[in-house]
């Protein structure tokens, strides 16, 4: 996956996946950051978050929350990286 190649996540990092959808990327990131790392996925869609939680069941380093990029503040700055995989068609304010 090209995004993983560019991001090059390392064990122990905390990565924020904005607009995680059904976690195609967050699932792979969990393997890269390992048990000492953390992946936080956010999405505005409740049904997408439900799919995400199902897909990542059993991965304690992955968590999900309902929200969007507009709600992020400087308080969310404790991440090693934040990504937004290309889903621009779903954002109305571009």
Per-residue pLDDT of the chain in tens (94 residues, 90 and over written 9): 577 888 888 999 888 888 887 767 888 999 999 999 999 888 889 998 999 999 999 999 999 989 877 766 555 555 655 555 544 444 444 4
Q: Which CATH superfamily is domain 2-68 in?
A: Vaccinia Virus protein VP39 (3.40.50.150)
Instruction: Classify strands 38-43 and 81-83 as parallel, antiparallel or unpaired.
Output: unpaired
Q: What predicted TM-score, i.e. pTM, was given to this entire model?
A: 0.74
Phi, psi of 14 (to 5 degrees): -115, 120
The CA distances from residue 91 to 19, 29, 65, in Å, are 10, 23, 18
Which residue, 20, 71, 70, is CA-closest to 48? 20
Would you say 34 and 61 are in contact if contact means Cβ atoms under 8 Å apart?
Answer: yes
pLDDT score recorded for residue 61: 95
């Amino acid at each position: 996956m090209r995004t993983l190649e560019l991001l090059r996540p390392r064990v122990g990092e905390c990565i924020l996946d904005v607009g995680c959808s059904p976690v195609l990327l967050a699932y792979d990131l969990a393997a890269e950051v390992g048990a000492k790392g953390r992946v936080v996925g956010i999405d505005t869609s409740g049904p997408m978050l439900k799919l995400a939680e199902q897909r990542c069941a059993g991965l304690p380093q992955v968590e999900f929350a309902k929200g969007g990029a507009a709600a992020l503040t400087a308080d969310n700055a404790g991440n090693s990286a934040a990504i937004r995989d290309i889903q621009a068609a779903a954002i109305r304010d571009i």
